[in-house]
């Protein structure tokens, strides 16, 4: 049931077809004034299922915070496939 990066839910527009995490990251997003979060799972290059939860507080630019969280999740999965 979690949205898939680049394909469904709130992650459909946050990952491009060329992004390293597209199709491998499954997560839920959260956004409040000054707070952005991303929590879910990613399969790394060795095939391991990893879970993560990232939270940024005191943010003043939501789009930049979302991009940073997306980069963290992609890096966790080792980015390139």
Give me the pLDDT at residue 80, please: 47
Give me the pLDDT at residue 66, please: 94
Is the pTM higher than 0.95? no
Give me the pLDDT at residue 41, please: 96
* Mean pLDDT, rounded, of the chain: 89
Give me the pLDDT at residue 14, please: 84
What would the 3-class secondary structure string for the chain be? CCCECCCCHHHCCCCCCCCCCCCCEEEEEEEECCEEEEEEEEECCCCCEEEEEEEEECCCCHHHHHHHHHHHHHHHCCCCC
């Amino acid at each position: 049931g979690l949205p898939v990066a680049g394909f469904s839910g709130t992650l459909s527009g946050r990952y491009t077809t060329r992004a390293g995490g597209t199709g491998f990251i499954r997560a839920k997003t959260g956004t409040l004034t000054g707070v952005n979060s991303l929590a879910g799972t990613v399969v790394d290059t060795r095939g391991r299922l990893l879970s993560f939860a990232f939270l940024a507080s005191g943010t003043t630019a939501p789009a930049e915070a979302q991009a940073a969280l997306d980069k963290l999740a992609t890096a966790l999965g080792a980015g390139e496939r």
